[in-house]
A and B are shown apart, each in its own frame.
Chain A
Amino acid sequence: MSDTIAADSETLAVPSAAPRETRAVRLRNFWADYRRSWVAVASLIVIALLIAASFGAPLLAPQDPYDMAALDWMDAFLRPGTVGSGGYMHLLGTDNAGRDMLSAIFYGLRTSFVIGLTAGVLALSIGIVVGLAAAYFRGRTEAVLMRVVDLQLSMPAILLALVMVAMLGQGVAQIIFALVVAQYAYFARTTHGAATVERGKDYIEAARSTPLPTHRVLLRHLLPNVMPPLIVVATVQIASAIALEATLSFLGVGLPLTEPSLGSLISNGFKYIHTDRYWLSIYPGLFLMITVVAINLVGDQVRTILDPRNAR
């Protein structure tokens, strides 16, 4: 018991003594902690493979599933493992239009990642700006900004996204916009919470009392200290953005059928759910599930490591 207390005071003492030199050390420690969970390591590998498959889709996929000329109606509903008219094996079968499912899934994954990451990064940026502004300026700015954020947080993301889609219509840009509107509030809340804690500490007061411009204090001093919790929220939000996009596309209000997306593939497969053509919906669904769960597991591990209560 006393052993852990002594160890804590040691790890605490190091960064305050030499903050710059320890960044690499901290990263190495972080990885050592991360590696402790084989599930989390496996998840990271899975995500890397999925990203490679999705962005390498034009090279890896046997077919461009959205080039209508390449599709052959004779190839419709081929079972997984069948060789079609193209002369190659359809590992995961083909859909009602004769589209190779594996190719469609790779292209669909690409859309999912592009939308999830773009929405995530935009929401993160806006959230940071709003949260930091609220925490830094305090007073009325803080009250108004955080009231709006709280209000939005009390509304489920799916509902906000539905309203946005209803207003803006369908398409990639519209979906990203809807996701950003639905999700920036999580980042703003987290940033504000962490920054409020930080700003009470002496070093921010010290920085404010020097003639440094406001944005420098915010960016150089406040931001690095609110990053850790934001990383956790970001992983979870990217996963939920991907899931939300798929959900909207499944409901038919997301991406139009001409855009490849896991959600629209599953939605298409859903029409055949009562037949034995399971592969139309099962495979895109599995890829969606694996993607989302893997990202969440990575986020979970990062959260566990960053949780001060689990400090070594």
Chain B
Amino acid sequence: MSAALDVRGLTTRFATRTGHVTAVNNVSFSVEPGRILGLVGESGSGKSVTGFSVLGLIDAPGEIAGGQVLIEGEDMRALTPEAQRRMRGRRVAMVFQDPMMTLNPVLRVGDQMAMAVRVHERVSKSAALARAREALEIVGIPAPAERLKAYPHQLSGGMRQRVAIAIALLHRPSVIIADEPTTALDVSIQGQILAEVRRLADETGTAIVWVSHDLAVVSSLADDICVMYAGRIVESGPAAEVIAAPRHPYTQGLIQSVPSLHEPGRKLPQIPGSTPQLSRLPTGCPFRPRCPRATEVCASDPPDLGTGGRRVLCHHPLETP
């Protein structure tokens, strides 16, 4: 089966006063239809920028400096800007973090959805609205016809995020990039949305890249996991394997600091230090200053170890038990 999304060597950097900052550094991953990939990292690790880079939505002073983004084998980066635009929303869609902000406050939900339908398909406004209503039904919104006439502020946060997901689903895209879509929601709503997304991926065959800082959410939802640190993917593999037997010291630190994945009653270990500034990275492995296993050799670029779907970027990976 060919991958719905195959990212190869993607690099995105930002021009600053002091020079270039590489926010996404040679990132590769792929997702197959109907699968969910969790892209995990602390804030500032470059995971959101990765999401925007996949859609080609990087504005100056940022630029995508290299790599390929293959959507069902078609390279986004090789397309003209206009052709890229036609891919967005139709073949690859995105859902944002804060549902309060992603919908235009002064336009009715229906009008916004109809606009999203008609930008890629020549249908009448009423046909577009009918499509919008169907999409709302799919994401489990009750009384969708009435919701179409509502303004965003008349809907709850969870409801708005469902609307955003419905918009992303309108054209049955191959890939949806979900950028922390449940972070801003209540925990109970979060659960509902997660179940909904899992069901949608299974039923529609859409591949989903779930960007999150929350390892607990990702471990319960994703099929595969990529862990990002300072713009690089430091470890990747099937979700169950990565959680059960992390090989990168950073991944291990992350897992140990999540309460629900840990034995209760014990003090939670923390990763010492803080997220590095991308402009002041050390040479070699960026995790080196915080790493308990670091040695002199870590000052050189870490090797890409592992095989197939299970990889780790480290000089001293933890041994699998």
Residues of chain A at the chain B interface (Cβ within 8 Å) = 1-6
Stretch at the interface among B120-128, B156-164, B193-201, B271-279: B271-279
**Alpha-carbon separation in the docked complex, A5 to B278 (Å):** 11
Residues of chain A with a CB closer than 8 A to B21's CB: 1, 3
Q: Decide: B16 and A2 in contact? CB cutoff 8 A.
A: no
Q: Decide: B14 and A1 in contact? CB cutoff 8 A.
A: yes
Residues of chain B with a CB closer than 8 A to A5's CB: 44
Q: Interface readout for B118-140 with A: 1 if CB under 8 Å, 0 if not?
A: 00000000000000000000000
Residues of chain A with a CB closer than 8 A to B43's CB: 2
Residue from A1, A2, A3 with most neighbouring chain B CB atoms (10 Å): A2
Q: Is the interface of B mostly helix, strand, loop or mixed?
A: mixed
How many chain B residues sit at the interface, stated as a range, is 10 to 19
B residues 14-51 touching A (CB-CB < 8 Å): 14, 16, 21, 23, 43-44, 49
Q: List 6 A-B contacts (CB under 8 A).
A: A1-B23, A2-B43, A3-B14, A3-B21, A3-B279, A4-B16
**Alpha-carbon separation in the docked complex, A49 to B43 (Å):** 51
Q: Is the interface of A mostly helix, strand, loop or mixed?
A: helix
Q: A1-B14, A1-B21, A1-B49 are in contact. List 4 more A-B contacts (CB 8 A).
A: A1-B278, A2-B43, A3-B14, A5-B44
Ranked 5 nearest A-B pairs via Cβ: A2-B44, A3-B279, A6-B277, A3-B277, A3-B21
Residues of chain B with a CB closer than 8 A to A1's CB: 14, 21, 23, 44, 49, 278
CB distance from B179 to the nearest CB of A (A): 14
Residues of chain A with a CB closer than 8 A to B49's CB: 1
Q: Interface readout for B246-279 with A: 1 if CB under 8 Å, 0 if not?
A: 0000000000000000000000000000010111
CB distance from B78 to the nearest CB of A (A): 26
Residue from A3, A5, A6 with most neighbouring chain B CB atoms (10 Å): A3
**Alpha-carbon separation in the docked complex, A5 to B275 (Å):** 12
CB distance from A143 to the nearest CB of B (A): 28
**Alpha-carbon separation in the docked complex, A2 to B14 (Å):** 11
Q: Interface readout for B164-208 with A: 1 if CB under 8 Å, 0 if not?
A: 000000000000000000000000000000000000000000000
Residues of chain B with a CB closer than 8 A to A2's CB: 23, 43-44, 275, 277-278
**Alpha-carbon separation in the docked complex, A3 to B14 (Å):** 10
**Alpha-carbon separation in the docked complex, A6 to B21 (Å):** 14
CB distance from B294 to the nearest CB of A (A): 22
Residues of chain B with a CB closer than 8 A to A3's CB: 14, 16, 21, 277-279
CB distance from B120 to the nearest CB of A (A): 30
Residues of chain A with a CB closer than 8 A to B44's CB: 1-2, 5-6
Residues of chain B with a CB closer than 8 A to A6's CB: 44, 277
Residues of chain A with a CB closer than 8 A to B275's CB: 2
Residues of chain A with a CB closer than 8 A to B23's CB: 1-2
**Alpha-carbon separation in the docked complex, A274 to B6 (Å):** 75
**Alpha-carbon separation in the docked complex, A4 to B23 (Å):** 12
**Alpha-carbon separation in the docked complex, A108 to B176 (Å):** 69
**Alpha-carbon separation in the docked complex, A5 to B49 (Å):** 15
**Alpha-carbon separation in the docked complex, A245 to B43 (Å):** 55
CB distance from A310 to the nearest CB of B (A): 14
CB distance from A295 to the nearest CB of B (A): 30
**Alpha-carbon separation in the docked complex, A3 to B44 (Å):** 8
CB distance from B183 to the nearest CB of A (A): 17
CB distance from A11 to the nearest CB of B (A): 14
**Alpha-carbon separation in the docked complex, A171 to B127 (Å):** 72
**Alpha-carbon separation in the docked complex, A5 to B43 (Å):** 11
Closest residue on chain B to residue A5 by CB atoms: B44
CB distance from B303 to the nearest CB of A (A): 26
Residues of chain A with a CB closer than 8 A to B14's CB: 1, 3
CB distance from A53 to the nearest CB of B (A): 39
B residues 92-119 touching A (CB-CB < 8 Å): none
Residues of chain A with a CB closer than 8 A to B279's CB: 3
CB distance from B287 to the nearest CB of A (A): 15
**Alpha-carbon separation in the docked complex, A2 to B23 (Å):** 9
CB distance from B66 to the nearest CB of A (A): 19
